[in-house]
Amino acid sequence: MAEFLSLFHRLIAALEVPGLNIPAVGVKFFRQDTPIPPEVQAYAPRELTLTSCQAAKQAGLGDPVLLTLDNIGCVAAAVSLGLVDQNQAEPLQGARLYTEIMHQQSEQGNAFLAPTPKDFTDGVVYACQSAGRPDFCLFGDRDQGRFKDQETARRAVAEMMAIQPAVMSGVFLYPPDLTDLEFVPDVVVLSIRPIELTRFIQAHQFRTGKRLEASMGGLRAVNSDLIVRPYLTQRINISPYCLGARLIAHYEANRLGIGMPYAEFSALVEGMEASLSGYPFSAYPGAADIDDG
C-alpha cells in the first residue's frame, strides 16, 4: 500500500500548490469467499452504524473504516456495495442511522418497521408519499419524497449501479497513509474542488485524447456513483454528491467527488506529471485558495 501513498504524493506535487488538501480514500472489496484480515477487521465500528458517505468522509480525514452488513448505516448502500440482496423482504437487523431518521419523524413510535432492501429497490422508500408510506419520509409530513411517484423511483433505482447478487462481506475505506497492509485499493475516491476537476480532466485528455463522461444521480452518490460504478465499469466517474452526503456526512459546499479504478488513478497521476508544463494549475484563479474547505 506504500505504492498508493507514493502515487498520492506525486499527484499533490504535480499540482504545485503548497499545503493543498485533497481528501483521498482507497476502497478495497472483500468477497464472501475471501477472509477479511484481522488487522482490517479491527477498523469495523461495533457500537454504531455509519453510512457509506460518512465512512468515506471519515477515511478521507485519516480514519479507516470497515463496512459490513452488521455496521452499515444505510440500507441502500448495503445493496449497492453487494452486502445484501436487493430483493430481501426483511429489514436489516438493528437500528441503522439512515432509517432511524425516518423513525424519528414517524408518528408510529415503537410500531415503526424499518424499510427492507426490497422497499428501496421497488421505489417505495424514494417515493414515500406517492407510495402511501409517509413513515418512510425524512423531513416530516411535508416531505414529498425523492421522486414524484413509484414508477419514476423504480426507473431511477434501476440505473443506480449495484453489485448484485450480493457477494461481498466487507468494504474497507482507508487513507493513503495507512501503509501497513499489503494490498492496493480496487477504487480510489477523491473529494475535490471544481478547479481540481479541471486539471484532472486536462491530465486525462493529455494522455488519452478522450473526453470524460460522467453518470450522475441525486442519490447513492458515494456508494453507487463513486465506488461501485468505477469498480464495475473500470472507468472514472464524477458526482456532485447527494442528499445523504450533504446532510448526513456534511461534505463541504465547494467539494465534489471523483472515483476511479486504481489503474486509472495511476494513469491519472502519470498524466498530471507529463502535462505539468502545459497546464500551470497554480496560476489558475483560486487554485491556491486552500483555506476555503
Residue 66 lies in a domain: no
Looking at the structure of the chain, the number of domains it has is: 2
pLDDT tens, the chain, 293 aa long: 589 999 999 999 999 999 999 999 999 999 999 999 999 999 999 999 999 999 999 999 999 999 999 999 999 999 999 999 999 999 999 999 999 999 998 888 788 999 999 999 999 999 999 999 999 999 988 899 999 999 999 999 999 999 999 999 999 999 999 988 889 999 999 999 999 999 999 999 999 999 999 999 999 999 999 999 999 999 999 999 999 999 999 999 999 999 999 999 999 999 999 999 999 999 999 999 987 54
- Please count the other Cβ atoms lying within 10 Å of the Cβ belonging to residue 5: 16
pTM of full prediction above 0.85:
yes
Residue (of 88, 61, 59) closest to 69 by Cα position: 88
Residues 93 and 150 in one domain: yes
Residue (of 173, 155, 143, 158) closest to 62 by Cα position: 173
Residue 64 lies in a domain: no
Residue 63 lies in a domain: no
CA distance 122 to 238: 26
Residue 154 lies in a domain: yes
Q: Which of 109, 129, 158 is the last residue of a domain?
A: 158
Q: Are 41 and 122 in contact (CB under 8 A)?
A: no
Residue 59 lies in a domain: no
Supply the range of the domain harboring residue 153: 87-158
Angle, CA of 233, 44 and 95, to the nearest 5°: 95
Helices 2-15 and 262-274: crossing angle, nearest 10°? Answer: 30
Residues 278 and 180 in one domain: yes
Q: Are 114 and 79 in contact (CB under 8 A)?
A: no
Residues 93 and 12 in one domain: no
Residue 292 lies in a domain: no
Residues 278 and 179 in one domain: yes
